[in-house]
């Protein structure tokens, strides 16, 4: 078991692409040296290649020079905060980001997600919980060479392989979680998908009650693919139940995804 805090630990694209060959590479960003050492030791023993950084500034420099699949990012960093670091990463990279935070308020978690994080984990945490979150994020693999990856809607072209959408010709990048969520919605076009069904399919079987969590990502997707996010045409809310992806105006065959 690992418990971690800011001062305590006990153990019982201008940048490189986010997805690279095995083994997965993880960057641990935390100003607590004991936690960095512990995570480096634990994750390395499990087959990950692990690097670390004690500040957001150092993390950004490493990300400019090296390839990583995942960043474990502490929210409470000196200097450039974890949220600021997350936003800076998102301006250039689609690398997966898991925020580590001692803050447990839902407002703080939502702020982390809106900054571009793919998920969050509250300190102290159990190593098995951390590994479950890491594996859930890393399994969001890119579209393979043999898989259809283009979907054309009215005014919108979605490229799942490149994690991009074009809205009236303007390119917008998708994060790994946004990509996986959109792929799931499109794959089940015109069907009503319950909140817990989406959460478990995209985030894993341990999820189901985090409706606010899902809401943040739905809003982010709407901002990227909807002409008017306040009046969505594609990602439609089904009150009290969940969401439906409206593909009736699609120019691509329904079985493409």
- Strand (E) or helix (H) holding 150: strand 150-153
pLDDT for 146 equals 43
CA-CA distance, 29 to 245, in Å (whole number)? 36
pLDDT for 155 equals 82
Architecture of domain 150-245: Orthogonal Bundle (1.10)
pLDDT for 123 equals 86
Q: Which residues of the chain have pLDDT under 70?
A: 1-21, 140-148, 248-257
177-192 confidence digits (pLDDT tens)? 888 899 899 889 999 9
Enumerate the domain spans of the chain: 2-138, 150-245
Q: Which CATH number fits domain 2-138: 3.90.230.10, 3.40.50.2300, 1.20.1440.230, 3.40.309.10?
A: 3.40.50.2300
CA-CA distance, 165 to 98, in Å (whole number)? 23
Residue with tokens 């074009």: 166
pLDDT for 105 equals 77
Q: Is 120:98 a contact under the CB 8 Å cutoff? A: yes
pLDDT for 160 equals 80
Bridging pattern class, strands 49-53 and 156-159 = unpaired
């Amino acid at each position: 078991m690992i418990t971690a805090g800011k001062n305590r630990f006990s153990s019982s694209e201008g940048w490189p692409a986010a997805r690279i060959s095995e083994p997965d590479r993880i960057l641990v960003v935390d100003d607590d040296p004991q936690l960095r050492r512990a995570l480096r030791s634990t994750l390395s023993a499990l087959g990950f290649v692990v690097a670390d950084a004690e500040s957001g500034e150092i993390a950004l420099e490493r990300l400019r020079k090296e390839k990583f699949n995942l960043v474990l990012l502490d929210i409470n960093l000196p200097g450039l905060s974890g949220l600021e670091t997350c936003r800076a990463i998102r301006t250039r990279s689609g690398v997966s980001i898991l925020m580590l935070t001692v803050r447990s308020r839902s407002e703080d978690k939502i702020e982390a997600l809106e900054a571009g994080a793919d998920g969050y984990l509250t300190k102290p945490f159990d190593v098995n919980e951390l590994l479950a979150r890491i594996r859930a994020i890393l399994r969001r693999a890119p579209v393979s060479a043999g898989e259809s990856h283009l979907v054309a809607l009215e005014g919108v072209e979605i490229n799942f392989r490149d994690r991009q959408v074009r809205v009236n010709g303007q390119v917008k990048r998708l994060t790994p979680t946004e990509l996986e969520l959109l792929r799931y919605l499109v794959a089940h076009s015109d069907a009503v998908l319950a909140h817990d069904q989406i959460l478990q399919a995209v985030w894993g079987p341990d999820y189901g009650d985090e409706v606010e969590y899902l809401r943040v990502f739905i809003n982010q997707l709407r901002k990227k693919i909807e002409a008017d996010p306040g009046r969505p045409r594609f990602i439609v809310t089904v009150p009290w139940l969940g969401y439906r992806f409206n593909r009736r105006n699609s120019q691509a065959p329904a079985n493409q995804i």
